[in-house]
Amino acid sequence: MRPRALSALALGLVLLVTGCGEAGKSPEKAAAPPSASPSPSPTPVTKPSPTHTTPAKPKLRPVPKKLPAGLHRASGSNGVALTFDDGPDPRYTPQILAQLRAARVKATFCVVGKQAKRYPELVARIVREGHQLCNHSWHHDVNLGRRSAAEIRSDLERTNEAIHAAAPKAPITWFRQPGGRWTAEEVAIAKQMGLRPLHWSVDPQDWDHPPAKTIIKRVKGATRHGSVVLMHDAGGDRAQTMAACRHLIPDLKRRFGIALPR
Ligand SMILES: [Zn+2]
């Protein structure tokens, strides 16, 4: 684990570039270098016989070094937007819903299609209790933005369908790329589908299982009016996030107000 002091210094930077643990700690590392031809010498014009070739893996487009334009990274109001990713999860989503209800505030749930299909009653409850939905891909594909337009579109559609099977006609306002590994192509496709691309401005890295007091310190240190806070109600042991939220939700409500992003 990193020393606290360094951690605090690095936080500002880290907050903007990470998120969703499955992406790994250095999401950029996975970006493939521009592929060089394996044989630089002139090759014969004849195509190899198809019977002897294995189908080439579709090439993934690189993740840009800078986040693409058009992402929503602020709540759009003075209030702070709370976002909960990777669920729904029967252990934690009901706890967060109960906390939000007690505080009389609304949040955005970035749900994974497979989870929505498995726990439709939780998706329905999220909607029934007045919260907002965000598509977070079918199976939390951190490389989704790097795939073909058709693959991106069908993943988002499949996820929307699972959500609508659980909560027919519920508006799906947002899309959030797992790990925040956006590409411009993906942002464009999401927008064409009526899904607004939602990033974040505060990431306490709760997916890495820091103690609740660290999650609280990170969120309180970085949150301002209009922040979008990223946390997780699924994807692993979220007991520390649940504990942190018992303090954070009333605290952020009192200091900034809690609002849905818009
Ligand atoms: Zn995620």
Digit-coded pLDDT (tens) for 144-181: 999 999 999 999 999 999 999 999 999 999 999 999 99
To the nearest 5 percent, what fractions of the chain are helix, strand and coil? 45, 10, 45
Query: What pLDDT is attached to residue 51?
Result: 55
- Give whole-number Cα distances, 243 to 182, 200, 219, in Å: 30, 21, 13
* Catalytic (active site) residue 164: no
Distance 230 CA to ligand 1 centre (A): 9
Query: What pLDDT is attached to residue 198?
Result: 98
Distance 151 CA to ligand 1 centre (A): 19
**Residue 175 structure tokens:** 């899309």
Distance 237 CA to ligand 1 centre (A): 14
Distance 133 CA to ligand 1 centre (A): 14
Do residues 165 and 120 lie in contact, with contact meaning Cβ atoms separated by under 8 Å?
Answer: yes
Q: Higher-confidence residue: 41 or 186?
A: 186
Instruction: Report how far residue 29's alpha carbon sits from residue 11's, in angstroms, rounded to the nearest whole number.
Output: 19
* Catalytic (active site) residue 232: yes
Query: What pLDDT is attached to residue 28?
Result: 37
Q: What residues pack around ion ligand 1 (CB closer than 5 A)? A: 20, 85-86, 178
**72, 85, 86, 136: which is the annotated catalytic residue?**
85
**72, 140, 232, 233: which is the annotated catalytic residue?**
232
Please state the rounded mean pLDDT for residues 129-144: 98
Query: What pLDDT is attached to residue 53?
Result: 65
Query: What pLDDT is attached to residue 59?
Result: 86
Q: What are phi and psi for residue 186, nearest 5 degrees?
A: -65, -40
Distance 210 CA to ligand 1 centre (A): 17
CA-based nearest residue to 114, from 88, 93, 133, 79: 88
Query: What pLDDT is attached to residue 2?
Result: 47
Do residues 121 and 166 lie in contact, with contact meaning Cβ atoms separated by under 8 Å?
Answer: yes
